[in-house]
């Protein structure tokens, strides 16, 4: 009896979700080629939260929290700070996995390693950097690169993020997001500098806490990452109207002065934290409505390319990881490579994943639309008081 024939899988995008998709197909026994427009010569970014559902997916793909240098999300009550509210948490018992706080670069290093390492389960993914995809034929699973190179497979998964190059070929139209009027400042600060500043004892006495400082439409989000050596700081706020081209730019350079001006009425201890930010960038929050479909013949979308969402629920990456694991399950080794089988399995993937991811996308987007939002999850909260001068 002959051995099962692996599928030839093309993944567009080698970010967090694209790499996870590669791992899932690799572990299923298929031959995976990943095309990424970036060369990853200078990876940047802030921290991300990995909720229990995200960690379940990552662990099933072989990820190691120690290699990811994640910080376990723990909350502690403080007696000397009345603005600190701890609700307590027992996430592993409730949800079956730990909640981790991870720097995006560390998480990306881990999934890219698992996709390409020679000793892992299955044949290593073949990764092509600096390989921008310009066109996709969903019927034949054929892509054309910017340099004219043509590659074909049995299946194409577009996991190339919010600004997906292949989404329009799968949908048959170009769909763009709406500005929300909200944005976030992002900065990462060495924790040793924070610990050395007495004004920031509200952080150093709770080094593993995720904290939020709330006031109207603005809030600071503060939590550790990279084995506790870095502190991630986010400043969510309303953004003045800009032209569409400027607003759609991700990760625009900003400054400490701009960050401070936006939060000028916050208490001194919070502004002291902002002042310590070595580099500040600003990310606009865009509203993506539910897409009409995710699949077309031999091709499908996954991750942000399929269901980009506001980050407030911490589910953007998690839903992408759920996409990846689902694909690996639906395409075991031995799956026939004919068009009918591939397209049927991809439609099944959409029917399983789209309702859940779209519901979470809709809940997340309520924030951008200015609609009431239920409090979901468990957080340590710092509330800005009118007389808070500590």
pLDDT confidence bin for 300, thresholds 50/70/90 = very high
- Are 244 and 232 contacting, i.e. CB atoms less than 8 angstroms apart? no
Whole-number Cα distances in Å, 30 to 11, 26, 35, 126, 247:
12, 5, 16, 12, 40
Q: Give the chain's mean pLDDT.
A: 88
- Alpha-carbon gap, residue 386 to 228, rounded angstroms: 31
Whole-number Cα distances in Å, 329 to 145, 164, 307:
29, 24, 20
The residues pairing with 126 across neighbouring beta strands, listed in sequence order, are 33
Model pLDDT, residue 208: 83
Residue 390 pLDDT exceeds 50: no
Strand 155-158 with 8-12, pairing = parallel
What's the sign of the alpha-carbon dihedral 301, 303, 304, 309? positive
Cite the DSSP H helix spans in 263-308: 268-275, 304-307
- Are 225 and 278 contacting, i.e. CB atoms less than 8 angstroms apart? no
Model pLDDT, residue 306: 98
What pTM, to 2 d.p., does this model score? Answer: 0.91
Q: Quick one: fold of 8-78+103-176+289-377?
A: FAD/NAD(P)-binding domain (3.50.50)
Span 210-262, pLDDT tens digits: 888 877 778 899 999 999 999 999 999 988 756 666 555 667 889 999 999 99
Q: Mean pLDDT, to the nearest integer, of 314-339?
A: 97
- Are 110 and 103 contacting, i.e. CB atoms less than 8 angstroms apart? no
Strand 31-36 with 126-129, pairing = parallel
Cite the DSSP H helix spans in 96-213: 104-116, 167-171, 191-195, 201-204
- Alpha-carbon gap, residue 274 to 280, rounded angstroms: 9
Q: Mean pLDDT, to the nearest integer, of 365-389?
A: 55
Span 42-94, pLDDT tens digits: 766 789 999 999 999 999 999 999 999 999 987 643 434 444 433 446 778 88
What are the counts of helices (DSSP H) followed by strands (DSSP E) for the chain? 14, 20
Span 167-203, pLDDT tens digits: 999 999 999 888 888 999 999 999 999 999 999 998 9
Q: Mean pLDDT, to the nearest integer, of 85-114?
A: 84
Span 263-280, pLDDT tens digits: 999 999 999 999 999 899
Whole-number Cα distances in Å, 144 to 12, 137, 147, 278, 283:
11, 9, 8, 41, 30
CATH for 178-287 is 3.30.9.30
Helix axes 316-330, 16-27, angle to 10 degrees: 20
- Alpha-carbon gap, residue 17 to 193, rounded angstroms: 33
Model pLDDT, residue 209: 81
Q: 42 versus 128: which is more confidently predicted?
A: 128
In the chain, where are the structural domains located? 8-78+103-176+289-377, 178-287
User: Encoding tokens for residue 54?
Assistant: 């995200």
Coil, strand or helix at 349? helix
pLDDT confidence bin for 118, thresholds 50/70/90 = very high
- Alpha-carbon gap, residue 287 to 284, rounded angstroms: 10
Q: 242 versus 315: which is more confidently predicted?
A: 315
Model pLDDT, residue 245: 61
Q: Mean pLDDT, to the nearest integer, of 313-339?
A: 97
């Amino acid at each position: 009896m002959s051995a099962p024939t692996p599928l030839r899988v093309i993944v567009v995008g080698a970010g967090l979700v694209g790499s996870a998709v590669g791992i899932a197909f690799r572990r299923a026994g298929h031959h995976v080629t990943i095309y990424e427009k970036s060369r990853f010569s200078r990876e940047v970014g802030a921290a991300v939260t990995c909720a229990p559902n995200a960690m379940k997916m990552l662990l099933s793909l072989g990820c190691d929290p120690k290699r990811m240098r994640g910080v376990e999300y723990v909350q502690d009550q403080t007696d000397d700070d009345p603005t600190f509210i701890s609700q307590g948490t027992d996430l592993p018992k409730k949800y079956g996995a730990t909640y981790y706080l991870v720097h995006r670069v560390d998480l990306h290093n881990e999934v890219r390693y698992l996709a390409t390492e020679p000793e892992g389960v299955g044949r290593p993914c073949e990764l092509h950097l600096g390989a921008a995809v310009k066109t996709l034929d969903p019927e034949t699973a054929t892509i054309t690169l910017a340099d004219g190179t043509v590659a074909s497979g049995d299946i194409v998964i577009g996991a190339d993020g919010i600004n997906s190059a292949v989404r329009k070929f799968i949908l048959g139209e170009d769909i763009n997001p709406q500005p929300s009027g909200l944005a976030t400042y992002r900065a990462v600060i060495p924790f040793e500098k924070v610990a050395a500043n007495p004004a920031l004892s509200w952080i150093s006495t709770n080094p593993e806490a995720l904290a939020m400082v709330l006031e109207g439409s603005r809030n600071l989000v503060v939590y550790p990452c990279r084995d506790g050596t870095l502190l991630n700081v986010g400043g969510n706020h309303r953004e003045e109207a800009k032209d569409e081209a400027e607003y759609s730019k991700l990760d625009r350079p900003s400054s400490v002065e701009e960050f401070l001006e936006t939060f000028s009425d916050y208490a001194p201890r919070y502004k002291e934290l902002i002042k310590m930010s070595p580099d500040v960038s600003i990310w606009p929050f865009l509203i993506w409505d539910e897409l009409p479909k995710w699949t077309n013949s031999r091709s499908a979308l996954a991750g942000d390319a399929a269901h980009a969402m506001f980050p407030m629920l911490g589910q953007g990456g998690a839903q992408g990881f759920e996409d990846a694991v689902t694909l690996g399950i639906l395409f075991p080794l031995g799956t026939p490579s004919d068009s009918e089988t591939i397209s049927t399995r991809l439609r099944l993937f959409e029917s399983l994943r789209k309702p859940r991811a779209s519901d979470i996308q809709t809940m997340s987007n309520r924030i951008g639309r200015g609609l009431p939002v239920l409090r979901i999850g468990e957080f340590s909260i710092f509330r800005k008081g009118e007389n808070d001068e500590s």
